[in-house]
Chain A
C-alpha cells in the first residue's frame, strides 16, 4: 500500500525538499536547529517515498520498456506540445534511492560539519533546493522537463560551490562551474531543438519508439550529429574531457557539498540523461563509439593527473572524473546495467571518501596536503577504518561494492573492444594506486607533530558508517538479487561472473596497492626520488596537463580580442554614427536659430513668401495655372 501510494505520488519526492527550501528561506533563516531538522525530515520523507517507489517497481513488474508514467499537459501550441509529469522505471528508481539516501546522510553529516558556520541555514536551504532539482530531473518524462531541472541543478551547484562567497577563489570556482556547464547546456539545447524539429516530440517514451523507426528507414548519419550535440551536455555536467575543468575547482565548496553534488548526484546527471534516452543512443553506433572512447580517455586522463596531486579533495575530484569516465565508457559499449550499477556503488564509496576527507580536514583545521598528514589511524580510528573500506571498494577488491560494478564494466568492454578493455584496466590500476597512495600518506606512517587531530562526532561518523556498510554490501546484494534483470536495456545480461576478467582486475588492483606501498610506505624518500626521476611526466600530471592554462590563453586571445574589437567598433564606428547625429543636429540647430531674430516684420515676410509659394504650387498641381482656372 505504501508502495502504491509512493508510486502514484512520486511527484512528492521532489516537492518535499522544495517546500523545505521555501520554508527555510523565508522563515527559518535565523533558526539553525529548526532549519536543519526541517530539511532532514523533508529529505527523510522523500527517502521513504523513494523506497516505496522502488518497492512498487519491483512488485508491479515495471520495466524499462514499460515504465510507469503520469503526466499532464504543461503547454501546447501549434507544432509543439510539452507535458510535465512523472516517469518511474527501474533506472529512475535506482537514482531516486541513491539521491535521497545520500542527501539524507549528507544532511545529517552537515549538522556536525557545518555547526557554527554563519551560513548554516542557507546551506540547508540550498541543499534542499538541490535535492528537489535533482529529483525532479530524475523523474522527468521528457527532454524539456529534464532540461529545466538540469539548469536548476547547475544553479544549485553554483550557489553551493560559491558558498563561502567572501573568498575570491570560491566565487571564481562557482562562476567557472556555471560557465563550463553552460557550454554543455548549449549543445544539449541545440540537440533538443533539433530533436523537436525532426520528431515533433520530446517525450522519452515516444522517442523510444520513433527514433529506432526513423533510423531503420533513413540511416544513422543525421541523427548521430544530434546525438553528439545532446552528448555535449553530459560532457560538461559529468566532467568528461575537455569540459572537466570545473570539477577540481568545485572543491572550494564545503566538503558535504563535494560529497553530495560532485561525487554522487549532480555529476551523474549526465550519465543519467544518456541512460534515460538510451533508446536513441543505442541505435546510433557512431555516437556510442564517441561516448566510449571519450569515456575511456577521460578515465585515463583524470587518473594520470590524480597520481601526483597533493590536496586530499583534489585527488578525490580527479578520481570522480575518472570514475565518471568509466560510467560513460560502460554506456558507450552498450551496457546500461553496468553503468547504472557503477553509478550506485560509486555514489556509496565516493560520498564516503569525501565525508571521510571532510572528517580529516575538520580534525586538521583544513590542512589539505596529504604529505603533511600521516599516522591518523591512531587518533581517528573510525574514520581510518571507514576510509579504508571505501578505498578497497573503489579499487574493486572483492567482495566490496566496487568489484561487482567495475567488473561488469570491464566485461562489457572486453566483449566489444579489446583496446578499450585494456585502457580501462590500466585506468583501474592507476585508480588502485592513487587511492592507496592517499590512504597510506594520510593514515599510515608517523604522525606529523604539527597536527593535533581528534576523532569526529557521531553526527559525522554515523552517516559515514551507513555508507561504509553500503560500500561493503552494496555490490553483492543487488548483484545477487538480479539488478541486471531490472535495470537494463534490451535483453538481460547473464548474472554470472566472468572469472577471467574478474581475476585479472583483482590482480591489477592488488598490484596497484603493492606499488603504492613500495613507493609511499615508510617515509617520503622514495616518492621524492621518483618525483625527480619522472621529471616532465610528473610536472605534466601535477599541473593537470595545462588544460586550464590553454583555456585561459584561448579566452584572453580570442574572446578578449573579440571583446576589444567590439569595444573599438562601438566607440569609433557606431559611436561615430551617433556622434555625427548629435553633432549634426546641434550644428543644424545653431544655424536655424539665426532665423529667430525677434523682428516681427521679418516673420511676417517669411510667412508671406511661404503662402505665395504654396498658392503657386497648389495652383500648378491642380492644373489651374495651365487651364486658366475654373470656379
Chain B
C-alpha cells in the first residue's frame, strides 16, 4: 500500500518547507533550522531508497549516518558563528548581516 513514492513525496514536502524557511526567515538561527529540515528530507529519501530497491541496502543507511554526523558538526559551528556575530555586531537579523558587499 505505502510505497516508495509516498516517502519521496513526504521528503519533497519537507524539503520545500525547509527551502521556504531558508529564503524567508529573518533570524539567522531560523535559517539554520531550515537547513536542518532540508538535510532531514534528504535522509528520508536515502533510507526510503535503501528499503524499497534491491540495490546495496546498507549503503543508504550508512550514507544517512554520515549526513547526520556532518549536519551535527555544521549546526555546532553555525551556532558558534551566530553567537560570534551577535557578540560582535549585536544582531542576528540576516538583513543586517550584509557587510560583504560592493
Give the interface of A toward B (CB within 8 A): 593-594, 596-601, 604-605, 608
Contact = CB atoms under 8 A, between A and B. Distances in A.
A596 B94 CA distance: 15
A598 B101 contact: yes
Nearest to B100: A598
Contacts of B22: 601, 604
Interface residues of B, number: 13
Interface in B57-102: 94-95, 97-102
7 smallest beta-carbon distances between A and B, as pairs: A598-B98, A598-B101, A593-B102, A598-B100, A596-B102, A596-B101, A599-B98
Given A597-B101, A600-B98, 18 more contacts: A593-B102, A594-B102, A596-B102, A598-B97, A598-B99, A599-B94, A599-B98, A599-B101, A600-B94, A600-B97, A601-B22, A601-B23, A601-B31, A601-B94, A604-B22, A604-B23, A608-B19, A608-B23
Contacts of B101: 596-599
6 contacts: A596-B101, A600-B97, A604-B22, A604-B23, A608-B19, A608-B23
Contacts of A601: 22-24, 31, 94
Interface of B: 19, 22-24, 31, 94-95, 97-102
B6 to A, nearest CB: 17
Contacts, number: 30
A505 to B, nearest CB: 94
B98 A597 contact: yes
Contact of B100 (A593, A596, A604, A605): A596
A599 B95 contact: yes
Contacts of A608: 19, 23
Nearest to B24: A601
A98 to B, nearest CB: 80
B86 to A, nearest CB: 15
A381 B6 CA distance: 129
A27 to B, nearest CB: 66
A161 to B, nearest CB: 63
Nearest to A589: B102
B74 to A, nearest CB: 15
B77 to A, nearest CB: 16
Contacts of B97: 598, 600
Contacts of B19: 608
Contacts of B98: 597-600
Contacts of B31: 600-601
A123 to B, nearest CB: 68
Contacts of A605: 23
A601 to B, nearest CB: 5
A44 to B, nearest CB: 81
B88 to A, nearest CB: 16
Nearest to A592: B102
A594 B100 CA distance: 12
A96 to B, nearest CB: 79
A601 B26 CA distance: 9
A588 to B, nearest CB: 14
Contacts of A596: 100-102
Contacts of A604: 22-23
Contacts of B100: 596, 598
B79 to A, nearest CB: 16
Nearest to A595: B102
A610 to B, nearest CB: 14
A593 B31 CA distance: 25
A582 B97 CA distance: 33
A347 to B, nearest CB: 80
Contacts of A597: 98, 101
Nearest to B19: A608
Nearest to B35: A604
B52 to A, nearest CB: 13
Q: Which of A596, A601, A605, A608: most chain B Cβ within 10 A?
A: A601
A617 to B, nearest CB: 20
B34 to A, nearest CB: 10
A211 B31 CA distance: 92
A178 B40 CA distance: 85
A92 B23 CA distance: 95
B33 to A, nearest CB: 14
A598 B98 CA distance: 4
Contacts of A593: 102
A498 B82 CA distance: 118
A605 B94 CA distance: 14
